[in-house]
């Protein structure tokens, strides 16, 4: 197979308001770390804004004497994310319980419980945590009030005041819980997916259509050896829709002009596809699945609670086998930090292993060649 010398990459992030500046910085830092581990070299250029829809940076890869020029395009939807990023605690509480109720009514909670227990835990995690905290606050507040009155002989008003202070003190531990356990990032993302299933995200379809136009234009220009669309987390569902729209605009996508491939990382396609009201997404998914000229690899780690792999053989399921990239102690620590583990798809490992994000996206091999003899064939659980 002909080596890739020029590639255009379109990247769609997950539900993250930090935008292109954060991801460019992350790419630069992690590419340098991976180079030290894998031996290849990546020259990452400055971030340049193309307009309201995208920003880009150049990546020159040096792999065993082969030079690869990559145009890395960050497709922006962070404006929509910020619009749906709940900030105040009362709104967050209301949103968390409304979301879990919505998934329960749709039958998705039961479906997740039966098919992907980790996703079930993700869906209920924040609301359960909030309920436990509220009950603990009430219980300890009542206990403090009773103790102050019965054991210490405080006046009723003083005992009640002491109980109230205790209750508030427990509730105000929430920022510490959020900092250590990160319950809200997954809650916000699953809320957005539910809103997406009801087509309640104003401006999203227009943005996806514009993304599709960029991909079609790049493919038709035939200036690159490969057009690769890369999506992470909640961006995977957006990538499915974007590719389906691109195929409808240009049915010969991937057949004429530059070859087109799709790399999806840590997504949860079934979470949207199985919602009864998401018929539009199932139709788009069908378009993409049937477009066999598009090489599609879906990478998921079973210990990543937030991902839910799409069933193969289309897309082609692969595991990054993250445990091979770290020492046993470091991997154990990663599993305790689910947010950090969920971002590992985009980051360097501490030792060479089966998965190298930078070699896959910026190296001389096409996506199909990168995974043709991969040892990461299954997404088998790893403790």
Question: Per-residue pLDDT tens for 319-375?
Answer: 999 999 999 999 999 998 999 999 999 999 999 988 999 999 999 999 999 998 654
Instruction: Please check the confidence at residue 278 and state whether its pLDDT lies above 60.
Output: yes
Instruction: Please check the confidence at residue 315 and state whether its pLDDT lies above 90.
Output: yes
Residues linked to residue 318 through DSSP beta bridges, in sequence order: 299
Nearest CA-CA partner of 160 in 178, 144, 176, 136: 144
Domains of the chain and CATH, by start: 6-81+203-372 (3.40.50), 88-194 (no CATH)
3-state secondary structure 202-253: CCHHHHHHHHHHHHHHHHHHCCCCEEEEEEECCHHHHHHHHHHHHHHHCCCE
The structure tokens 């894998």 sit at: 38
- E-strand ranges in the chain read 6-12, 41-44, 48-49, 54-63, 66-75, 226-232, 260-265, 295-299, 316-318
Least confident range of 7-16, 158-167, 273-282: 158-167
The span from the CA of 317 to the CA of 314, in Å, is: 8
For the beta carbon of residue 187, count every other beta carbon within 10 angstroms. 24
3-state secondary structure 293-331: CCEEEEECCCCCCCCECCCCCCCEEECCCHHHHCCHHHH
Instruction: Please check the confidence at residue 377 and state whether its pLDDT lies above 60.
Output: no
pLDDT at 155: 62
Mean pLDDT of the chain: 90
pLDDT tens-digit series, residues 208-263: 999 999 999 999 998 999 999 999 999 999 999 999 999 999 999 999 888 999 99
pLDDT at 138: 74
**Mean pLDDT across 24-43:** 96
Phi and psi angles of residue 65, each rounded to the nearest 5 degrees, phi first: 85, -5
Name residues whose C-beta falls within 8 Å of residue 197's C-beta, 6 or more positions apart in sequence.
272, 275, 277, 278, 281
CA-based torsion, 150, 167, 120, 175: positive or negative? negative
Instruction: Please check the confidence at residue 382 and state whether its pLDDT lies above 50.
Output: no
pLDDT at 381: 40
Q: What is the CA radius of gyration of the chain?
A: 23
For 94-114, letters b (16+ CB in 10 Å) and e give ebbeebbebbeebebbebbee
pLDDT tens-digit series, residues 68-78: 999 999 999 99
The span from the CA of 72 to the CA of 346, in Å, is: 14
Phi and psi angles of residue 256, each rounded to the nearest 5 degrees, phi first: -115, 145
Least confident range of 31-35, 84-88, 140-144, 210-214: 140-144
Tokens of 192: 């957005």
pLDDT at 214: 97
Instruction: Please check the confidence at residue 164 and state whether its pLDDT lies above 70.
Output: no
**pTM for the complete prediction?**
0.91
Percent of the chain with pLDDT over 90: 73
Nearest CA-CA partner of 270 in 236, 293, 301: 236
pLDDT tens-digit series, residues 75-115: 999 999 999 999 887 898 899 999 999 999 999 999 999 99
The span from the CA of 296 to the CA of 287, in Å, is: 13
The span from the CA of 137 to the CA of 171, in Å, is: 6
pLDDT at 149: 67
pLDDT at 154: 61
Instruction: Please check the confidence at residue 380 and state whether its pLDDT lies above 50.
Output: no
pLDDT at 375: 46
- Find the helix packing angle between 108-115 and 117-146, rounded to 10°: 110
pLDDT tens-digit series, residues 190-204: 999 999 999 999 999
């Amino acid at each position: 197979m002909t080596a890739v010398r020029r590639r255009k990459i379109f990247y769609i992030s997950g539900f993250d308001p930090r935008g292109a500046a954060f991801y460019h910085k992350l790419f630069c830092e992690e590419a340098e770390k991976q180079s030290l581990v894998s031996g290849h070299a990546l020259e990452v250029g400055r971030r340049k804004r193309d307009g309201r829809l995208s920003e880009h940076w150049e990546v020159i890869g040096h792999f065993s004497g082969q030079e690869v020029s990559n145009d890395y395009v960050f497709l922006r939807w962070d404006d929509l994310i910020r619009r749906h990023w709940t900030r105040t605690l009362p709104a967050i509480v209301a949103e968390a319980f409304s979301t879990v109720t919505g998934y329960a009514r749709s039958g998705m909670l039961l479906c997740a419980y039966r098919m992907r227990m980790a996703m079930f835990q993700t869906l209920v995690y924040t609301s359960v945590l909030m309920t436990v905290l509220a009950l603990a606050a009430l219980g300890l507040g009542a206990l403090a009030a009773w103790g102050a009155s019965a054991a210490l002989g405080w006046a009723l008003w003083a005992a009640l005041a002491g109980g109230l202070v205790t209750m508030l003190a427990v509730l105000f531990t929430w920022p510490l819980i959020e900092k250590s356990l990160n319950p809200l990032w997954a809650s916000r993302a699953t809320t957005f997916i539910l809103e997406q299933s009801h087509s309640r995200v104003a401006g999203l379809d227009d943005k996806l259509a514009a993304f599709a136009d960029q991909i079609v234009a790049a493919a038709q220009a035939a200036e690159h050896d490969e057009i690769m669309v890369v999506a992470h987390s909640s961006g995977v569902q957006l990538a499915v829709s974007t590719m389906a729209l691109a195929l409808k605009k240009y049915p010969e996508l991937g057949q004429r002009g530059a070859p087109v491939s799709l790399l999806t990382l840590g997504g949860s396609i079934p979470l949207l596809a199985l919602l009864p009201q998401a018929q539009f997404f199932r139709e788009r998914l069908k378009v993409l699945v049937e477009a066999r000229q598009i090489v599609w690899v879906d990478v998921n780690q079973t210990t990543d609670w937030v991902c839910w792999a799409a069933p193969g053989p289309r897309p082609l399921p692969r595991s990054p086998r993250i445990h091979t990239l770290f020492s046993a102690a470091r991997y154990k620590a990663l599993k305790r930090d689910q947010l950090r583990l969920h971002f590992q798809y985009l980051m360097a490992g501490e030792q060479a292993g089966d998965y190298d994000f930078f070699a896959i996206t910026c190296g001389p091999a096409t996506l199909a060649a990168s995974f043709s003899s991969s040892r990461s064939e299954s997404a088998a659980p790893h403790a």
